[in-house]
């Protein structure tokens, strides 16, 4: 696992986690960019919801009603590095899935432009969160 | 990975992720409790911090300054199921580590009592978040 995040805007409130294959995590750990061919990064997005279960705990680290966990899955996003196949989009292929089904063409056309601000990090927003 | 969570109280503001070995995830997916011997669940806790990087994105899914990512590692907690070795504490052995070093005895004595409110779920707070 690379990292965890929360995205909260007027429209969404999500908990997010980023996973990776061995090629990608090796590049992360070594701090090398660009990521090598074969790198795969997967982002899981869930709706953030309160947790009554956690809030029931009477003592210890959960003293109040302020624990939030994952709710409904929102979508799963994938980046696959292939410098030949995806030369036109930063050498990354992008995918967006919900309930196992790919999003439509319009959604996929937006992937790369949204990642362009992270160009100096090889179009990858997520920083590695070591433990 | 099992799930992601946020814990926000007066004292802490953390992003959390829960990982597992194959024995534990199988039990999770089948909805079986108690967890079988050999189950291992690991919880990673980080300080939650704002992300200037994400907030720079001018369009798309990050329209405002409301993105939070992981900061400093807080601690790592482990539960290992062994019905013989840990019979006195719900058959779970508990561990708490920071920077690779175990917490003191007082901290470890608090593990089981804090997990007792989740007794009807075999002392495991985290629910499986499928995708």
Rounded Cα distance, B95 and A15, in Å: 26
Tell whether A81 is covered by a domain. Answer: yes
Contact A8 B61 (CB under 8 A): no
Cβ contacts of residue A41 below 8 Å, gap of 6+?
A2, A18, A19, A20, A24, A78, A79, A124, A126
What mean pLDDT comes out for the span B101-130? 92
Q: Chain A: nearest CA to B83, how far in angstroms?
A: 25
Whether pLDDT at B62 is above 80? no
User: What is residue A119's DSSP assignment?
Assistant: G
Q: Say what the pLDDT of residue B55 is.
A: 81
The pLDDT-based confidence of A59 (bands split at 50, 70, 90) is: low
What mean pLDDT comes out for the span A29-46? 96
Tell whether A73 is covered by a domain. Answer: yes
Percentage of chain A with pLDDT > 90? 73
What mean pLDDT comes out for the span A15-31? 96
Whether pLDDT at A61 is above 70? no
Q: Please tell me if residue B9 touches chain A, with a CB cutoff of 8 Å.
A: yes
Tell whether B39 is covered by a domain. Answer: yes
Q: Please tell me if residue A128 touches chain B, with a CB cutoff of 8 Å.
A: no
Query: CB–CB of B102/B76 below 8 Å?
Result: no
Tell whether B129 is covered by a domain. Answer: no
Tell whether B130 is covered by a domain. Answer: no
What is the domain extent for residue B56? 3-121
What mean pLDDT comes out for the span A101-112? 93
Q: Please tell me if residue A118 touches chain B, with a CB cutoff of 8 Å.
A: yes
Rounded Cα distance, B128 and B4, in Å: 9
Residue B48 is nearest to which of A6, A16, A126, comparing CB atoms?
A6
**Residue labelled with tokens 């939650």:** B48
Q: Which of A64-68, B28-32, B127-131 has the lowest mean pLDDT?
A: A64-68
Tell whether A42 is covered by a domain. Answer: yes
* Contacting residues of A for B3, CB less than 8 Å apart: 69-70
Whether pLDDT at B65 is above 80? no
Whether pLDDT at B59 is above 90? no
Tell whether B127 is covered by a domain. Answer: no
**Residue labelled with tokens 């439509």:** A104
Query: CB–CB of A36/B85 below 8 Å?
Result: no
Strands A67-81 and A40-50 come out as antiparallel
Q: Say what the pLDDT of residue B61 is.
A: 56
Whether pLDDT at A33 is above 70? yes
Tell whether B72 is covered by a domain. Answer: yes
Rounded Cα distance, B33 and B41, in Å: 14
Number of structural domains (chain A) is 1
Q: Answer positive or negative: Cα dihedral of A89, B69, A47, B115.
A: positive
């Amino acid at each position: 696992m690379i990292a965890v995040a929360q995205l909260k805007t007027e429209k969404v409130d999500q908990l997010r986690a980023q996973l990776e294959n061995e090629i990608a995590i090796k590049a992360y750990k070594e701090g090398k960019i660009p990521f090598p061919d074969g790198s795969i990064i997967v982002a899981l997005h869930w709706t953030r919801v309160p947790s009554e279960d956690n809030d029931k705990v009477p003592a210890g680290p959960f003293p109040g009603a302020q624990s939030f966990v994952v709710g409904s899955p929102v979508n799963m996003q994938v980046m696959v590095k292939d410098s030949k196949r995806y030369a036109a989009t930063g050498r990354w292929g992008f995918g967006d899935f919900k309930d196992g089904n790919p999003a439509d063409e319009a959604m996929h056309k937006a992937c790369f432009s949204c990642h362009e601000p992270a160009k100096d990090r090889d179009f990858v927003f997520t920083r590695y969160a070591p433990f």
